[in-house]
Structure 1
Amino acid sequence: MPKHVGLISFLVICGLWSMPKAAHAQALLPHTLQLDAAKLEKQGLSLAQEAAQLGQFQQFELALPRARLASQLAPNSDKVWFLLGGLQMQSKDLDAAIASLKKAQSLNPKNADVLFALGSAHFQQQKYPAAIASYQAGLKLKPNDPEGLFDLGNAYYMTNRLPEAIAQYDKAVSQNKKFWPAINNIGLISYEQGDIPGAIQKWQTAVNIDKRAAEPLLALAVALYTKGDRQQALAMGEAALRIDQRYGDLEFLKQNLWGNRLLSDTKKFLELPRIQAALQPQGISPRTRQQPTQ
């Protein structure tokens, strides 16, 4: 559909409305626009499906207008509002995302996924108490959801409620033994607390679950290098950066909840000649910005 087609033009194109014909031999009478609500809603749901497919391919500029129109044509569908909120969140329009997700919640208060998405939006805004409240509400409806448990753990982590964070991560792993991100994050906490052997054990477990997981592999490399196992550490670090070079960026690592102790050791590791050589093909170099204390 052309980008600037108005609602009436859109309805004509979709066959949902036709122009009134002029009467003959009498004055023109006003015509009432007859809209079929069921057809409009069906068209809205079809547009939402298109938007979801486009969103899967990261084509948000094409997906968002369809999702917005879908929310007008099918305003009582919580799934459409949930989709629109998710797309807005992906596009970093967090205030709009929260408004759409709250609309979805009002239409279906029992949808735990909407509450988890609201928590994520608040988390991205660094409104951690609001994020915690949303995650907790979602977990009341879906108590064994590994991702919801993990996200609540992250929100506790950001508010320095570390024992509670670890408890949520452990619950996530109890629901899904292969959920390595939770195991990885327990390692992050252990490292900051000075438990280097404990952190290494967690990261080794995470790598054993998924050998293509760059984050625990790089963290393990840094820990082993700091411990003195340098040749193995360098090989692991090179392998991690071949998998995903974003992990050569200290700011990216900070966004992934790496703490100050690990960031400091990682900065030194990334400056090593062999690691610098591994970063060179993409022209990435480590950022040396001073990390604030959490």
Structure 2
Amino acid sequence: MYKRIALLFTILLLNSGIAKRPAIAYLVPHLPNLDDRQLEREGNDLLGESIQLAQLQQFDLAITRAKLATQLIPKNPDAWSVLGGLYLADNKTDLSIAALQKAKALEPKESAIWFRLGNAYFQKKDYSKAIESLQSGLAIKPNVPGALFDLGNAYLMSGKKTDAIATYEKAYAQDKKFWYPLNNIGLIKYEAGDINEAIRLWKLSVAAATDSNGAEPKLALAVATYQKGDKEQGLKLGEAAIKLDNRYGNITFLKENLWGDRLITDTQAFLELPRMKAALAQGRSTQAEEKSPR
């Protein structure tokens, strides 16, 4: 499980101290000559609008407003941090890093900036800088479960599996409802051949999951259960996982979520089984119906 950037981005924006505004002007406003207090007020208004637009997934409009805000209040770290977060959510990694570096220079003791920067470097696959940035943020604000989870992911992608497990365990210790670290420890254990431990961790993850994200540990558990010989239970779990979220039938998507080679190989074979093919076809059909105009 890695792809939670949009969720993390929204949480960080809402914690950034920028007041939300009740109205959105969909055209970029023309601004007359303004004094410093008016510039600050207009800049903060634009940031509030950009946050609302981001929550509506309207990133182009949100970025336009955030960029204008950085011109009005260029010494405000929130403006650069919001812009960097928007670029990150819109998969514009280099632009995100550039904006976040400016935010960091203005406010080096703001942990949220370091956490976003760590996510940006992770997305760029610069895992050493991701680790460095996340560690810097955690030095300012320790024991943040999401940041610890992200650090564990960076360790995992750097091949530092022992560090990854220790960091995931620390993340889970902060919030026992935050099951994602357990899921990823399961991924590591499966690759190491400890299928029983992976199954135990994925069962805990499935029990804790309350939304469609639970499809990931459920599918992993399905594959492992099938491999252990309980084929009927494995197929039932697999069908339920695909019904929750059929994206997990896409091998590329699984790789993006840090599934290792051994689990990928076993999952490919599992998804070729007739019942799983039928479940995937049904999932695609349901998705198409939901997208079709009424």
TM-score, length basis structure 1: 0.85
CA contact (8 A) 2:246 2:284 kept: no
Query: Partners of 1:37 and 1:127 in 2: how far apart?
Result: 39
Letter in 1 for 2:183: N
Letter in 1 for 2:268: K
Secondary structure at the counterpart of residue 142 of structure 2: coil
Aligned residue for 1:101? 100
Query: Partners of 1:61 and 1:53 in 2: how far apart?
Result: 12
Q: CA deviation at 1:81?
A: 1.0
Query: Partners of 1:38 and 1:49 in 2: how far apart?
Result: 17
Aligned residue for 2:49? 50
Secondary structure at the counterpart of residue 30 of structure 2: helix
Q: Which runs of 5+ in 2 are unaligned?
A: 1-24, 286-294
Q: CA deviation at 1:282?
A: 4.7
Q: CA deviation at 1:283?
A: 4.0
Query: Partners of 1:281 and 1:274 in 2: how far apart?
Result: 11
Q: CA deviation at 1:37?
A: 1.2
- Runs of 4+ deviating beyond 4 Å: none
Aligned residue for 1:135? 134
What CA deviation, in whole Å up to 9, does each residue of 1:245-267 have, x standing for no partner? 11000010001000000000000
What CA deviation, in whole Å up to 9, does each residue of 1:96-151 have, x standing for no partner? 11111111111111111110111111111111111111011111011111111111
Structure 1 residues 14-29: aligned runs within 5 Å = 17=33
Aligned residue for 1:202? 201
Structure 1 residues 65-214: aligned runs within 5 Å = 65-212=64-211, 213-214=214-215
Identity %: 51
Letter in 2 for 1:113: A
Query: Partners of 1:79 and 1:230 in 2: how far apart?
Result: 53
Q: CA deviation at 1:2?
A: 6.7
Count residues with an aligned counterpart: 259
What CA deviation, in whole Å up to 9, does each residue of 1:199-257 have, x standing for no partner? 00000000111153111000000000111111111111111111111100001000100
Secondary structure at the counterpart of residue 91 of structure 2: coil
Secondary structure at the counterpart of residue 70 of structure 1: helix
Q: CA deviation at 1:281?
A: 3.4
Q: Which has the larger radius of gyration?
A: 1
Decide whether aligned partners of structure 1 residues 44 and 189 sit closer, same or farther in structure 2, where only a CA change above 3 A counts: same
Query: Partners of 1:96 and 1:43 in 2: how far apart?
Result: 23
Query: Partners of 2:283 and 2:191 in 1: how far apart?
Result: 30
Query: Partners of 1:157 and 1:201 in 2: how far apart?
Result: 20
Structure 1 residues 213-252: aligned runs within 5 Å = 213-252=214-253
CA contact (8 A) 2:77 2:103 kept: yes
Letter in 1 for 2:160: R
CA contact (8 A) 2:242 2:283 kept: no
Query: Partners of 1:121 and 1:211 in 2: how far apart?
Result: 28
Q: CA RMSD in A?
A: 1.4
Query: Partners of 1:92 and 1:177 in 2: how far apart?
Result: 30
Tell me which of the two structures has the higher relative contact order, counting C-alpha pairs closer than 8 angstroms and 6 or more residues apart.
2
